[in-house]
A and B are shown apart, each in its own frame.
Chain A
Amino acid sequence: MDDDRPLFRQLAERIEKQIIEGSLPEGGQVPSINEFAAFHRINPATALKGVSLLVDAGVLYKRRGIGMFVSDGAREALLSARRATFRDEFVRPLVAEARALGITPDELATMIREDPTA
């Protein structure tokens, strides 16, 4: 956990990523605040803040006395949100970097098409 964003956002993003990848399935229970805090070695108050972000966004929901669960439809919602920001977060820096290196948009497009993992 160490980049330029606040810890609680990093935690929220990690949980989102796990939901998208399916390791936290919809309807399934997520670890407790204390477990998150212990695992990531962060203050429980920070962990609570991160998880609350997702609860407020409707990605997770609480069941009083039992714990927190992944909401139905959370994965699809997260995916579409990610798609919406994909251009800003990934394409623009890529194009900017390519321009700095003198790679034309056409050349970049070719590189992407020919990439073996594409």
Chain B
Amino acid sequence: MTTAVEVTGLTKRYRSLTAVGDVTFRIREHAITGLLGRNGAGKTTLMRLITGQEFATRGEIRLFGEPPVENARVLSRTCFISESQRYPDDFRVKHVLASAPRFFAQWDADFADELVTAFRLNRRQLVKKLSRGQRSAVGVIVGLASRAPLTIFDEPYLGLDAVARQIFYDRLLADYSEHPRTVIISTHLIDEIAHLLEYAVVIDDGRIAIDSPVESLTAAAATIAGTAESVERFVAGRTVVHRARLGGLLSATLDGVTDADRAAARDAGLEVGPVSLQELIVRRTSGDANTPDSAAAGAAPETTEVTR
């Protein structure tokens, strides 16, 4: 599998604040990757750097093999739908739909029309006057219909209701299957999209906390529950990312679990449960002080609020 985006030693500093700190990872081509993390973790900054909207302090970015900054050859193959994308005040929905196609060689006008109907948008309405969710829908439509070889959705569904979000997921999956391309979705609502993702890149406090196929991430994690004593005996020497106690019962979230481990736990009379991607990420990025085993505990993460 080839690489769409390659980031090496990337750092972005705003005066004293480090939004992205010495980050190295890659985004695989023709896959859906989730860029996950808490608010202010540096997700948006990272995406802006990848698309050349922001200038790096240090490090290297390769977008389709080339530096992205002011590089029309590779930027013309990207579409970045920003969380709070602003449209000119005089734009109606139809003006967005009329001007966007010129920027994307693979734009599918029929698909865009279909999406407008699915999201029940009124073409004649001013974008400025749309509700938060409807404006998100406009962005989703442009992002999907652009079929840009690299399409980035930054918190694409702020304000979208459950039905509209489902439409987004379904259309994304269906269209992605027909027209494979590289998609990056940034969100903090992880549970809803976990099954859509092939890869997860988790950024925490400006650093990459996880970069892995989703499948192997969740496959390697398990919750072991039972009496405190038996659970403690089982987890000794293993990577415990979280512990929850209830009376004499203990539930431990483990990482690096194999099928043999699961079988062993069951044989020991312990309950073995799944760990959702969201849970796993929360455990790995919360720096939860209640978990003596977690490496992140103790040092309270610096607050890097990089809001846009």
Contact = CB atoms under 8 A, between A and B. Distances in A.
Interface string B64-87: 000000000000000000000000
A112 interface: no
Given A38-B170, A42-B196, A45-B31, A33 B177 contact: yes
A39 to B, nearest CB: 10
A3 B195 contact: no
A91 B254 CA distance: 28
Nearest to B1: A45
A1 interface: yes
Interface in A1-36: 1-8, 33-34
A45 B198 contact: yes
B241 interface: no
Nearest to B222: A4
Nearest to B195: A42
Nearest to A32: B177
Interface in B190-225: 195-198, 214-215, 218-219, 222
A2 to B, nearest CB: 8
Contacts of B177: 33-34, 37-38, 44
A24 to B, nearest CB: 20
Interface residues of A, number: 20
A4 B170 contact: no
Contacts, number: 49
Nearest to A42: B195
Given A34-B174, A38-B173, A43 B218 contact: no
Contacts of B234: none
How big is the B interface, by class? 20 to 34
Contacts of B32: 43
Contacts of A45: 31, 198
B178 interface: yes
B272 interface: yes
A34 B195 CA distance: 14
Contact of B169 (A2, A33, A34, A41): A41
Contacts of B169: 41
A34 B178 contact: yes
Interface of A: 1-8, 33-34, 37-38, 40-46, 49
12 contacts: A6-B218, A33-B177, A34-B174, A34-B177, A34-B178, A37-B177, A38-B170, A41-B169, A41-B170, A43-B195, A43-B196, A43-B214
Given A3-B274, A42-B173, 7 more contacts: A2-B274, A4-B274, A8-B215, A33-B177, A41-B170, A43-B196, A46-B215
6 closest A-B pairs by beta carbon, nearest first, are A4-B274, A34-B177, A42-B195, A45-B198, A43-B198, A44-B177
